[in-house]
Amino acid sequence: MRWLSIRLVALAAAATFTAVSPAAARPPNTRTPAPAEPNTENEKVEAAIRAWSSGDWARVRILLEPLVQGDRNLAEPLLNETALRYLADATIQDEATLDAPIRVELATGYIQRLLSSSDDWRPPADIHGRQFYDLYNKLREQRDTARARVCIGELASCDADKAEASARLTRLQNDYAVLKKAFDEEEVEVREKVARNRAVALIPFGVGHFYNGRKRLGAAFLASELLFGGVGLGLFIARSFKCSREGISFKPGALTCQGEGDGKPVVLQRNAEQTMGLLFLGAVALDIVLAQVTFRPFLTVKSTRYRRQDLDKGGDPDASKAPRRRPGKAPAPTSRVRTRDILRVAPAPAYIPGGAGFGVSLRF
């Protein structure tokens, strides 16, 4: 018995030494280091994804809610989409911390932000929970229904505008047809004009005024020029019969007149001749200048009234009455008298009291 007690005490001592020796070998005051807290946005999102994989929904919300709170967005669009997507999934599955209405309300806000960022946004398949996909499909259906209603309303408004525009167009077309008919039936005056020759207005004795259609003015200049010229010529002829020169001398005082002693009447007669000559030349000059100033470059030779529709058909209302020319045959040249007056100078017989001779005729 004594041997057995000694053996048990030895075993107990050995067990005590074995239990105490590892603790004694371990350094005193040594602890396991805790993982470092994420600082940047990428680190927080990666830490939230790891927490989401382990089912720690509260940890996911703690990491991501400060990043997107108050409509804040992350710097990178793809990182922002990932954060909102995992936060919405973790929020809708956090049954231990949040009530059902609050979970649905918060997750709805996150998914609405994702839908507002892009109309074509869709979450990747077979990653998140069923509740997340059900809520997404519900919000997508509501969004598509609302947009469809807006499109239907816009379509109805466009149809109403189209109907109004069509009615207005029909009314305007009817008004245009009435105005067009009245315009075509309206009569207009067509004047055929010819270009006139300005050289004719350079001819004195009132010819330019007669050519311009001012007969009274032409007659006045013709009478005055004939009067001044005739009187001056008559005085000259009378003096030539009454006076003669001594020999062939043209010195002053060589002209002698019959019945005149001192020569004063001859001087007066010569002054009268010069006065009439100057008046004649002045009347001729005034005649030509006034004819040029009052010259009319065009003359209306024909004035006819036609309907506008007859003018628009072919340009010439009388074209239908003219004979049709053969194809390939050039049109006959029109007379230049229809477009321009030409002064024609031609010889003509002249009869005078002492016999006959040649003269000049002017035609225009």
Residue 214 and residue 140 share a domain: no
Joined together, the tokens standing for residue 295 give 């010259």
Quick: pLDDT tens for 116-144.
888 888 999 888 999 999 999 999 999 99
Chain-centre distance for alpha carbon 36:
69
The predicted-structure confidence for 15-50, as pLDDT tens digits, reads as follows: 333 333 333 334 444 454 545 677 788 899 999 999
Which residues neighbour 303 within 8 Å (Cβ) at sequence distance 6 or greater?
189, 190, 191, 192
**239 and 312 belong to one structural domain:** yes
Please list the residues that pair with 306 across neighbouring strands: 188
Q: What's the pLDDT score for residue 161?
A: 93
List, for residues 65-80, the tens digit of each pLDDT value.
998 888 888 889 899 9
- In this prediction, residue 155 has a pLDDT band, given cuts at 50, 70 and 90, of very high
Is residue 337 over pLDDT 50? no
Judgement on whether residues 214 and 313 belong to the same structural domain of the protein = yes
Read off the pLDDT of residues 215-252 as tens digits, 9 standing for 90 and up. Answer: 888 888 889 888 888 888 888 887 777 665 554 444 44
Asked whether residue 342 carries a pLDDT value surpassing 90, the answer given is no
Q: Does 131 lie in the same domain as 68?
A: yes
Cβ(92)–Cβ(103) below 8 Å: yes
Q: Are residues 58 and 134 in the same domain?
A: yes
Judge whether 280 lies within some domain. Answer: yes
Only one residue has tokens 């006819």, namely 304
User: What residues does 245 pair with on adjacent strands?
Assistant: 255
Domain boundary among the residues 110, 145, 180 is at 145
For the cut 90, the answer to whether the pLDDT of residue 167 exceeds it is yes
**pLDDT above 90 for 353:** no
CB 348 within 8 A of CB 358: yes
* 277 shares a domain with 216: yes
Q: How far apart are CA 145 and CA 52, in angstroms?
A: 33
Q: Is 183 among the domain residues?
A: no
Percent of the chain with pLDDT over 90: 27
Evaluate whether residue 187 is within a structural domain: no
Report yes or no on 63 lying in a domain.
yes
pLDDT at position 170: 94
Higher pLDDT among residues 73 and 359, named by residue: 73
Q: Over 50: is that where the pLDDT of 328 sits?
A: no
Structure tokens at 86: 């995992």
Residues 204 and 300 occupy one common structural domain? yes
Question: Rounded mean pLDDT of 158-173?
Answer: 94
Using the 3D structure, point to which of 127, 145, 163 is the last residue of a domain.
Answer: 145
What tokens does 271 get?
């002054």
pLDDT-derived band at 323 (thresholds 50, 70, 90) equals very low
> Which residues does residue 300 pair with via DSSP β-bridges, in sequence order?
193
Nearest alpha carbon to residue 226 among 288, 284, 271: 284
Domain membership of residue 340 (yes or no) is no
Instruction: Work out how many domains the chain is built from and give that number.
Output: 2
| Rounded percentage of the chain residues whose pLDDT exceeds 70 | 68
- For the chain, give the secondary structure using H, E and C: CHHHHHHHHHHHHHHHHHHHHHHHHCCCCCCCCCCCCCCCHHHHHHHHHHHHHCCCHHHHHHHHHHHHCCCCCCCCHHHHHHHHHHHHHHHHHCCCCCCHHHHHHHHHHHHHHHHHHCCCCCCCCCCCCHHHHHHHHHHHHHHHHHHHHHHHHHHHHHHHHHHHHHHHHHHHHHHHHHHHHHHHHCEEEEEEEEECCHHHHHCCCCHHHHHCCCHHHHHHHHHHHHHHHHHHHHHHHHHHHHEEECCCCCCCCCEEECCCCCCHHHHHHHHHHHHHHHHHHHHHHHHHHHHHHCCCCEEEEEEEEEEHHHHHHHCCHHHHCCCCCCCCCCCCCCCHHHCECCCEEEEEEEEECCEEEEEEEEEC
What mean pLDDT do residues 198-223 have?
Answer: 84
Encode pLDDT of 182-194 as tens digits. Answer: 888 888 777 777 7
**Domain span holding position 135:** 41-145
Per-residue pLDDT tens digits for 298-317: 766 677 777 877 776 655 55
For residues 137 and 209, membership in a common domain is answered with: no
Measure CA 299 to chain center: 41
- Does any domain span residue 93? yes
Distance CA 217, CA 221 (A): 6
So what's the pLDDT on residue 334?
Answer: 40
Give the pLDDT confidence score for residue 20 in this predicted structure: 35
The verdict on 120 and 221 lying in the same domain is: no
Is position 190 within any domain?
A: no
Task: Tell whether the model's pLDDT for residue 169 goes beyond 50.
Answer: yes
Task: Judge contact between 91 and 98, C-beta under 8 A.
Answer: yes
pLDDT of residue 109: 92
The string of pLDDT tens digits covering residues 256-296 is 555 444 556 677 877 888 888 888 898 888 988 888 888 87
Q: Whole-angstrom Cα distance, residue 97 to residue 91?
A: 9
Q: Is residue 348 part of a domain?
A: no
Checking if the pLDDT of 114 tops 80, the result is: yes
- pLDDT the model gives residue 23: 35
Q: Are residues 113 and 218 part of one domain?
A: no
Query: Do 100 and 205 lie in a common domain?
Result: no
Q: Is the pLDDT of residue 165 over 50?
A: yes
Give the least confident one: 95-109, 135-149, 178-192. Answer: 178-192
- Choose the final residue of a domain: 104, 122, 145: 145
* 139 and 208 belong to one structural domain: no
